Amino acid sequence: MRFRRSASLAAATFAALAAGATVRAQTPPKACASAATQSEMTECADKAFRKADQELNDSYKTIEARLKGDAEKMNRLVTAQRAWIVFRDAECNFAASNVAGGSAYPMTVALCAEAMTNHRLQDLKAYLKCEEGDMSCPVPAK
């Protein structure tokens, strides 16, 4: 009975997170819809985060390539990205604090990290779409 209650609570937590009711979470991948255990849900959330993180890294590398030869801007980019990573991790740890110490904590942190990473990805992609002469954009046009 206790396991069933825990499994039901985990499923409800996952559903609430997927719906964005708590933490800045996006809907998990469709493959996660069939996840039945906390371990499976955590694994799915982690995979989604890793996918978003890879896309972020790809965009970051493209920006680095465009900034090649501009050491000052490159240093500012590195500083900004490192600060953002610290913020993301701290924010997700705070956002998941209601489940800290529980089995849903890693999943909750991963869902938050995925959502924040996707948001940052959109910021980086916007830098890559700057038009020539846009003084508000630190990344040169293609």
Domain ranges of the chain: 2-127
**Average pLDDT for 112-129:** 98
Return mean pLDDT, the chain. Answer: 85
pLDDT bucket at 30, cuts 50 / 70 / 90: low
CATH 3.40.50.970 fits 2-127, yes or no: no
Cα four-point dihedral sign 15, 96, 50, 117: positive
Q: How far is CA 85 from CA 15, 75, 108, in A?
A: 26, 15, 17
pTM of this structure: 0.77
Q: What is the mean pLDDT of residues 109-127?
A: 98
Phi-psi region of 29 (alpha: psi -120 to 50; beta: other; left: phi over 0): beta
- CA distances in angstroms from 13 to 16, 21, 84, 112, listed in the order given: 5, 9, 27, 13
Return the pLDDT at 35.
85
Res. 80: pLDDT tops 70 = yes
Q: How confident is the model at residue 34 (pLDDT cuts 50, 70, 90)?
A: confident
Residue 28 has pLDDT above 70, yes or no: no
